[in-house]
Structure 1
Amino acid sequence: MAADSPTDPAAIRAARAARARALLAELTLDEKTALLHQHAPAIERLGLNAFHTGAEALHGVAWLGTATVFPQPVGLAASWSAELLTRIGEVVGVELRAKHAADPAVSLNAWAPVVNPLRHPRWGRNEEGYSEDPHLTAELATAYARGLRGDHPVFWRTVPTLKHFLAYNNETDRALTSSRLRPRVLREYELPAYRGPLEAGVIGAVMPSYNLVNGRPNHVARELLDELRSWTPESLLVVSDAAAPGNLVTFERYYPDHVTGHAAMLRAGIDSFTDNDADARPTTTRIAAALERGLITEADIDQAALRHLELRLATGELDPGLDPYAGISADQIDLPEHRALAREAVARSVVLLANDGVLPLGPDQRIAVVGPHADRVLHDWYSGTPPYLTGIASALDARLPGAVRTADGADRVALRSTSTGGYLRPGVDGVLLADGPDAGPEAQIDVTAWGEGIVTLRSVATGLLWSGVGWVIRADAERVGGWVAQESFRLHRHDDGAWSLRHLGSGRWLRVQHGQGLLAADAAELADAERFTLRTVRHGHTHVAEVSAAADVVLVAVGNDPHLLGRETEDRPHLRLPDEQAELWRAAREANPRAVLTVVSSYPYALGGLADQAAAVVWTSHAGQELGNGLVDVLVGDVEPSGRLAQGWPADESHVGDLLDYDVIEAKSTYWYAEHPAQYAFGHGLSYTEVEYTALALDTADVDPDDVVRVTVTVANRGERPVDELVQVYAASPGHRLPVPRRRLVAHSRASLAPGETRDVVLTVRIEQLSTWDVSSGRHVVEPGRHELHAGPSSAARPLRAELRVAGQPVPPRAALGAVLRLADYDEQEGTALAERTLDAGDAVQPAPGRRSGWVLLRSMDAQGARGLRVTLARTGPGAAQARVEVRESIDAAGLSAAHDDAAWQPVGTAEAPAGGGRYDWSDVPVTAEPLTAGWDTLAGKVVDVRVVLTGPVRAGELSPTP
């Protein structure tokens, strides 16, 4: 950009686009095509360096060596602070620039933030998201992205990428499962998380997710990607997820070959193909073949290449003398202010879930810290390499020297080989040898159980974990890590009491090799595994009980290892605390009732009665290098607890529903629709004082849909300590004609109150936040009538209520005559699935897998003047494939359950899908003969509900009333 560059944002974007077009005109076809792979080569004559998309920056710079590591996003969200997340984003952006200064191959395209709403707590990647509320997710993601992007009008510090678009909340068969999203769920729950950051103009790229939505892979969801782009003023690069281009053929079998699949992705709006690692040849060859076959045009290639160039221009690649971020040097990593911010972030993300007065800890108390997280700080897959680690016990010991004792709860054992007679011990380079003379310290192993029979094994002599990288087992790992964790094992006890071990990374059993006696994972069958005699040197639970009994207070630090039993590629098996950790908790509490259940985890647990036994319950995410210091700041009362849950903790596993059911309305999931109270609700979190909510006032109660209401909430600190209270306002719409959220967050604000202080907290609520998606008009509407606002400290505790009266016209019935009514816009359904109408666009309805029939219900259709009906049908196989239409006089919300009462419906007629067609061969078929049956005549001229029952291998697209 020239020194006299424009300052108006629109003019800046126009100038960048013009410059990108000029660059594009200088490129050959091969050069343009080469830009479309993740690893793009240099074009030296134009000053373009080698470039690749993607640097992981989820909660710090990852995979690029030492960098500041902040709490996981699910922890950061507990701060409910956009200001904090912007500051963290700034530090991460600076450190990514510093990595780029040290190595220009480091991409400035940051693959963060993740904005998938945390619909289901069993999702393996729960740690990566912010909240179960899409609007809070959008607010926090916008803030983090704003920090990454920077505030210069022309140049971007880094270019943030939203992940993962769309409806992605399961790792189980993630490249094969289709998320059923009817329009209301899509528009009300899923899309807002993406729209907020895009409209803010702080996002420069988006990554589609592996899964399908309504039968269509997200990497070819052209309609949704087009709409996504319509929300942002910025040019938007769409980058594929890793290996997703190949998935279209190899797993999803959506296209017959890779050339066709790549062409469809390009036409749909994918600009960068992340496939085959650094080898671009398969991608460029397939795109060239698609062009030759006429599946794409050069204009398709140009459009993608242009977006790529615009992104690179935004980073200042061709303007180092003007780019204000080019001066960030390679040594701007782990600065003192970065460490201070990491510590602040931990403290502000800690949530005090319960407390009977045992916290804060006193200065003269003896403290026991027990459990697998007593002094251990763990990493997740997207963590960077922290410059140091501070565990809970170490931080407490620094604060209370000599008052802290620790027990991690591991069983300390020694294993003697029955084939060599020697004990396993680490030799040179940590190689495990079965030649130890005795069960002394050199041969001792700490066994930590993480649940479901999975253990890690740590050499007492070296302090390092056993690892199975390669086939030789070594005690050489500092932590569990890697795409396939190599540090996890399973113990098997034989009927005769002997033990064998299985390495889970390879799936092979351990065997002592003849000759040198080294241990290797090379036995395919249990029968060939080495058999060991196990001696317990110290029982973990006994040690925990001893240490706990000698303390005034015991912190029982339990939770997950982020690489085991819940992570990318693996959903959680359940929501319970692992049995072994629950038993460790019981051992500690039985020895000392002043026990604090201290949970360090990537996700919520259903703690049940364990929480009821605790003197206090505290949660933190895996919070990075300052975990211990930040948590202890809160535990001892140097920092008042201010964290609040951005994701509720269920009271029972059964309350969260099916992992694969994305219809939050029908499944009654998330705090919006849940019928069961959570153990710890969305928004919940305690302080060390008592806050009373005393009054709620509105500046007006009579409003229009486009109004803004000022809400005043009066809160009082009744205690003797200061408090940082999170005042929350929720909306409800009792008596609404549709199922709507029981409660949904519409405003929140912090209030710092001194002891005894009372304060009025003023918040604003936009009435449009009460809207629902009207499937008949295809827009958000706020329906007239009575609505409510509630205020309180959580979604469950809302002691104050005020009524709103919204003016306007009711939503009219669906305009029927002459209209085409999409059956995917149903109000209710049973036994159906949403599927792709064509390979490229549209939605259809069909019986769900494993079901022979199912139905969809369209409410409130104006039957005036309609004397016939046609339904658009296609087949999915041979045999009878029918759509049966039934009607009844329309009923209001009070009669919703009548949809399932077959006696309430009058038959109209049936339509048969023509024989011989395929799933994309659509035909408009009349329903029975005209005029229609008496059932329709009785309701002619009235507003009716229509139920379409599908039976057999049939797909239905639209219903069309005719004169």
Structure 2
Amino acid sequence: MTAHTPPAPLFRDTDQPFAKRIDDLLSRLTLDEKIGFLHQFGPSVERLGVAAFRTGQEALHGVAWMGPATVFPQAVGLGATWNEELVRRVGEAVSREARAMRARDERVGLNVWAPTVNLLRHPLWGRNEEGYSEDPKLTSAIATAYTRGLRGDHGLYWRTAPVLKHWLAHNNETERDTTSSSVRPRVLHEYDLRAFRDTVEAGAVAGVMPAYNLVNGRPNHVSPYLRTQLRAWTDQDLLVCSDAGAPSNLVDSEHYFDTHEEATAAALRAGVDSFTDHGTDSTKIIGRVAGALQRGLLTEDDIDTAVRRQLSVRFRLGEFDPGADPYAGEQPFDTPEHGALALEAAEQAVVLLKNDGPLPLAPDSRVAVVGLLADECKLDWYSGSLIHRSTPLEGLYERFGAERVEFAEGVDRVLLKTSAGAFLHVPPAPDAPEAARGAEGALDPALLAGRTDLPPLTAGPAGTELALADWGDGVLTLRAPDGRYLSVAEDGYVRASADQPGGWIVQETFRLEPHGDGHLLRHVGTGRHVQVAADGVKVAEEDPEVFELVVAERGEDAVGRAAAGADVVVVVAGNDPHINGRETEDRTTLRLPAQQERLLRAARAANPNTVLALVSAYPYAVDTADLPAVLWTAHGGQAAGTALARVLAGDVSPAGRLPQTWYADDADLPDLLDYDVIGGRQTYLYFEGAPLFPFGHGLSYAAFSYGELTADVTGSEVRVSFTVTNTGDITADEVPQLYTRAVDSSVPRPRRELLAHRRVTLAPGETSELSFVLPLSAFAFWDVAVDRWRVEPGAYELLAGASSEDVRARATVTLDGEPAVPRAVLARGLDAAGFDEQSGVEIVDRTRAEGDAVTPVAGKDGELLFRDCDFGDGVTEVTVEVSGGGTVEVALDGGSVLAALSPQAPTPGPYDHITLRASCTAVDGVHDVRVRLRGPLRLARVGFSG
């Protein structure tokens, strides 16, 4: 440093701790600069040499939306591996590619929005593909592994900064920004919070993203749990990033606040630090924050708190220390190691559901591979662009030789005939370069996606035979012979111009609607019908064309021919991740689409030796009784086809395990909006029916035996051990699982609950001894009587085996625990949402800021049950805190009414609670209390006094 060189500011001093450097930088920023940082696209501060910063880079199973990258299996597929070390390595590879991509494109962010830890409570949820499991223990284990890989292993600097999605109790896409998840305290703590908590406490999480929905009547973006739960779990600064558009939803769709200034201030005070709203336009958020400051709804300290959390992440990412950042300049991208890891992950994700003999395939097998997904490598909304791809057909060609593999896609080949007798015709792409043509001269559809310069469809005497695929619920895709999907561009014309269905609004899907003697063809994306006009085929509001559907070949016929001449048939069925079950769209049924069921029946009729390979983002209810073998894998990324072929051929013994229950029928499912897993008997934890395939299920080409399970209680731990032996003749993986069950609990507890698991590789005859050390807290439940965790004294069964239902060894331990105590209602009263059981009620918000109340479901009377309430020496008065209008009845035990209380008139609003009092017959001792609610009122609390 010379006499003319000013000293570097403290925030640039790498010898100082981050906290002191953050304080220094924060003190140098003006109020306007700090407000600017609150939007997702934070501007640069050139006078301080601070670069622009964007929160958010999608990286669920590879770097997404930023061009070519290594694509790993979907998250639910990574969950199916039950292999934390593998998933950690996947996270590390993704973070390395994020760094490499950022080195050449500054739009690639290092604050990655992944993983999704929402629990897969309901298999009809459209975003099932994004989560890991229905079980909080497995979800947190896999999520923790992924975040550790994303974070890196340096003690100070992070390779990327993971943000968990989506806080909280979010499992429906239907009206997702206005529906409220009613979550009672036990479900909140034992289920929904648990996956987030364990992952945050592991120390590799930079923040969370609130979900669009409301919980107990309050939007997640103003959730008090961000303060009372999330930030109480760690001393680390956590960055809370809003979901896209959610801050505006607080006013626009949810009508929770009257003005955007109020909403923005409430979200900021609740703990939201970065507002993802209005795309790259930050002016709206800046204006709302400024307006909130002027109205006194915010202070500069509130803004400083949020900016400090943002800066904490930026310092950890090494932004201000380029010379010291150990990850700066990393370039590993699309390496052979990453490709091998993608294949390994895809192989480990395959689950063998049933095998009565045909698998693995004999080396000299003649294989027919058929089905809508047989020659597909599908991507989802959060995938990167494929650099490499493999389909099941390609994998089987490679493994068995093209001469031994027969293929039939099974789509219907159709012509669309107009009322004038003409046929829809797909013009060729006249300007397609030679590079866009394959070996047979066909167009490479990957080079056509998004083009609008191609000519639209026409109608004439020579029609084009189209491949029609029905993806369920009547949703169709139509594809030209050269592979181009029919799509509708912004100008409304129908062109063959897409490589695959995709996009936020899919423009490649249609419906055939019966109309007279023919059909109307409705475009799903615009809702308009197809019209044949002089200047080409388009969608329009008027003059829809009535088409005759001329079937040139049924898909079943092609499948039957291919199947008849084969030794074994592999039917590859499943979903397209952009259709009928995705973000913004829940599924309506567990069943396979009717067209795929017909193909499966046709294959089975032609050849009994039929294997069903399901490639899907979610479970199905499939009749497997007459199928000798069934497999499932999530969409497996770039190596999906090779992995499936290697498992079918026996090069790899399958060892994936189901991360969620597969139900046998739609009738087994609760309502999509019923978030009470306890009362609704949901997931493997509580489901009392017979599943199609249970949680944790998965078969192997080897066999395994389990030795005696021993369990010892030592101090605050339970030590468990047992052996597993490979009794087969090949090396294979097994996934031993350890569960527990409270033998005689005083409250409803899980039928069994996962405590631990481990994926192990065993050679033939090899034995492995597995040991687990479990804290006593693993056996606790949330006791609503005392509002905290409690281990109940008594017997607990420990169950080891190959799935939640395939138990091979067991033992019982007795835990001293903490005895139950009656509710001290004189001292604490009864919070309405702290019930033991309920019928006909939902939990709502006590105020906009905090607290819960209970209200009857519309059109019903509600009832709450509180067990073992201690009235001490006696009470003679009942009080209730209510809003609205109606009647509260407080009764004891078998039904004797202590008091009935009603407001003289409904209160002005839902948050205008009043206290009502009534004398009652003297009551002492311990009793159950029943509270009945009639009318549109909200009950916050019941109190008693002498």
TM bracket, shorter-chain basis: over 0.9
1:467 maps to which of 460, 464, 487: 487
Q: In structure 1, the residue corresponding to 2:625 is in which secondary structure?
A: helix
The one-letter code matched in structure 2 to 1:952 is: G
Deviation at 1:435, TM superposition (A): 4.7
The one-letter code matched in structure 2 to 1:868 is: T
Distance 1:485 1:862 in 2: 59
Deviation at 1:593, TM superposition (A): 0.6
Which residues of 2 match residues 776-855 of structure 1 at below 5 A?
Answer: 776-851=785-860, 853-855=861-863
Deviation at 1:717, TM superposition (A): 2.7
Matched, 1:684 2:697: yes
8 A Cα contact 1:420 1:435, kept in partner? no
What are the superposed Cα offsets for residues 405-463 of structure 1, whole Å, 9 maximum, x if unpaired?
Answer: 11110111223434473541224454343355435xxx221111111111111100x21
Distance 2:851 2:234 in 1: 23
Deviation at 1:557, TM superposition (A): 0.3
Distance 2:743 2:762 in 1: 33
Matched with 1:944 is 927
Matched with 2:24 is 22
Q: In structure 2, the residue corresponding to 1:112 is in which secondary structure?
A: strand
Which residues of 2 match residues 249-328 of structure 1 at below 5 A?
Answer: 249-328=251-330
Distance 1:51 1:261 in 2: 24
The one-letter code matched in structure 2 to 1:391 is: T
1:120 maps to which of 119, 122, 140: 122
1:907 maps to which of 894, 897, 907: 897
8 A Cα contact 1:417 1:434, kept in partner? no
The one-letter code matched in structure 1 to 2:309 is: R
8 A Cα contact 1:416 1:424, kept in partner? no
Deviation at 1:692, TM superposition (A): 2.5
Deviation at 1:866, TM superposition (A): 3.2
Distance 2:723 2:935 in 1: 60
Deviation at 1:868, TM superposition (A): 2.9
Matched with 2:437 is none
Which residues of 2 match residues 200-279 of structure 1 at below 5 A?
Answer: 200-279=202-281
Matched with 1:349 is 349
Deviation at 1:278, TM superposition (A): 0.8
Matched with 2:538 is 520
Q: In structure 1, the residue corresponding to 2:599 is in which secondary structure?
A: helix
What are the superposed Cα offsets for residues 191-248 of structure 1, whole Å, 9 maximum, x if unpaired?
Answer: 1100111111111111000111111111001244442011123211111101101111
Matched with 1:482 is 503
8 A Cα contact 1:181 1:834, kept in partner? yes
The one-letter code matched in structure 2 to 1:564 is: I
Matched with 1:897 is none
Matched with 2:937 is 954
Q: In structure 1, the residue corresponding to 2:171 is in which secondary structure?
A: coil
Describe the shift of the 1:580–1:288 C-alpha distance in structure 2 as closer, same or farther (beyond 3 A). Answer: same
Matched with 1:919 is 910
Which piece of structure 1 moves more, 713-722 or 783-792?
Answer: 713-722
Distance 2:384 2:556 in 1: 33
Matched, 1:874 2:864: no
1:551 maps to which of 534, 545, 566: 566
Deviation at 1:616, TM superposition (A): 0.4
Q: In structure 2, the residue corresponding to 1:613 is in which secondary structure?
A: coil
Matched with 1:892 is none
Q: In structure 2, the residue corresponding to 1:361 is in which secondary structure?
A: coil
Deviation at 1:100, TM superposition (A): 1.2
The one-letter code matched in structure 2 to 1:779 is: R
Q: In structure 1, the residue corresponding to 2:782 is in which secondary structure?
A: strand
Deviation at 1:75, TM superposition (A): 0.5
8 A Cα contact 2:343 2:643, kept in partner? yes
Distance 1:155 1:696 in 2: 43
Deviation at 1:656, TM superposition (A): 2.0
Describe the shift of the 1:66–1:509 C-alpha distance in structure 2 as closer, same or farther (beyond 3 A). Answer: same
Distance 1:821 1:18 in 2: 46
Distance 2:519 2:852 in 1: 55
The one-letter code matched in structure 1 to 2:400 is: L
Describe the shift of the 1:751–1:338 C-alpha distance in structure 2 as closer, same or farther (beyond 3 A). Answer: closer
Distance 1:141 1:643 in 2: 17
Distance 1:14 1:680 in 2: 56
Deviation at 1:655, TM superposition (A): 1.4
Q: In structure 2, the residue corresponding to 1:426 is in which secondary structure?
A: coil
Which residues of 2 match residues 634-673 of structure 1 at below 5 A?
Answer: 634-673=647-686
8 A Cα contact 1:695 1:715, kept in partner? no
Describe the shift of the 1:805–1:490 C-alpha distance in structure 2 as closer, same or farther (beyond 3 A). Answer: same
What are the superposed Cα offsets for residues 150-186 of structure 1, whole Å, 9 maximum, x if unpaired?
Answer: 1111111111000000000001111111111111000
Matched with 2:438 is none
Which residues of 2 match residues 213-612 of structure 1 at below 5 A?
Answer: 213-329=215-331, 332-401=332-401, 402-419=403-420, 421-428=422-429, 430-439=454-463, 443-460=464-481, 462-470=482-490, 471-496=492-517, 498-514=518-534, 516=535, 518-522=536-540, 524-525=541-542, 528-607=543-622, 609=623, 611-612=624-625
The one-letter code matched in structure 2 to 1:120 is: H
Distance 2:83 2:236 in 1: 25
Deviation at 1:685, TM superposition (A): 0.2
Distance 1:373 1:513 in 2: 34
Task: Count residues in correspondence.
Answer: 908
The one-letter code matched in structure 2 to 1:915 is: A
What are the superposed Cα offsets for residues 616-672 of structure 1, whole Å, 9 maximum, x if unpaired?
Answer: 000010111100111111111111111011111112221121110001000000100
Deviation at 1:871, TM superposition (A): 2.8
Which piece of structure 1 moves more, 756-765 or 443-452?
Answer: 756-765
Q: In structure 2, the residue corresponding to 1:247 is in which secondary structure?
A: helix
Describe the shift of the 1:670–1:297 C-alpha distance in structure 2 as closer, same or farther (beyond 3 A). Answer: same
With normalisation by structure 1, the TM-score equals 0.92
Describe the shift of the 1:883–1:547 C-alpha distance in structure 2 as closer, same or farther (beyond 3 A). Answer: same
Distance 1:140 1:499 in 2: 48
Which piece of structure 1 moves more, 802-811 or 712-721?
Answer: 712-721
Describe the shift of the 1:911–1:435 C-alpha distance in structure 2 as closer, same or farther (beyond 3 A). Answer: closer
Which residues of 2 match residues 686-835 of structure 1 at below 5 A?
Answer: 686-698=699-711, 700=712, 702=713, 707-835=716-844
The one-letter code matched in structure 2 to 1:167 is: A
8 A Cα contact 2:706 2:809, kept in partner? yes
Distance 1:17 1:868 in 2: 56
8 A Cα contact 1:835 1:846, kept in partner? yes
Distance 2:203 2:828 in 1: 37
Distance 1:822 1:314 in 2: 42
Deviation at 1:14, TM superposition (A): 8.9
Which piece of structure 1 moves more, 579-588 or 417-426?
Answer: 417-426
With normalisation by structure 2, the TM-score equals 0.94
Which piece of structure 1 moves more, 408-417 or 782-791?
Answer: 408-417
1:886 maps to which of 888, 891, 896: 891
Distance 1:302 1:606 in 2: 52
Deviation at 1:541, TM superposition (A): 0.7
Describe the shift of the 1:565–1:869 C-alpha distance in structure 2 as closer, same or farther (beyond 3 A). Answer: farther
Unaligned runs of 5+ in 2: 1-12, 430-452
8 A Cα contact 1:216 1:836, kept in partner? yes
Unaligned runs of 5+ in 1: 1-10, 889-903
8 A Cα contact 1:873 1:913, kept in partner? no
Distance 2:84 2:190 in 1: 22
Distance 1:794 1:663 in 2: 24
The one-letter code matched in structure 2 to 1:753 is: L
Describe the shift of the 1:13–1:209 C-alpha distance in structure 2 as closer, same or farther (beyond 3 A). Answer: farther
Distance 1:13 1:797 in 2: 56
The one-letter code matched in structure 2 to 1:776 is: A
Q: In structure 2, the residue corresponding to 1:131 is in which secondary structure?
A: coil
Matched with 1:7 is none
8 A Cα contact 2:790 2:817, kept in partner? no
The one-letter code matched in structure 1 to 2:889 is: R
The one-letter code matched in structure 1 to 2:516 is: D
2:870 maps to which of 862, 880, 897: 862
Deviation at 1:13, TM superposition (A): 13
What is the identity percentage for the equivalent residue pairs of Structure 1 and Structure 2?
Answer: 48
Distance 1:544 1:521 in 2: 33
8 A Cα contact 2:14 2:321, kept in partner? no
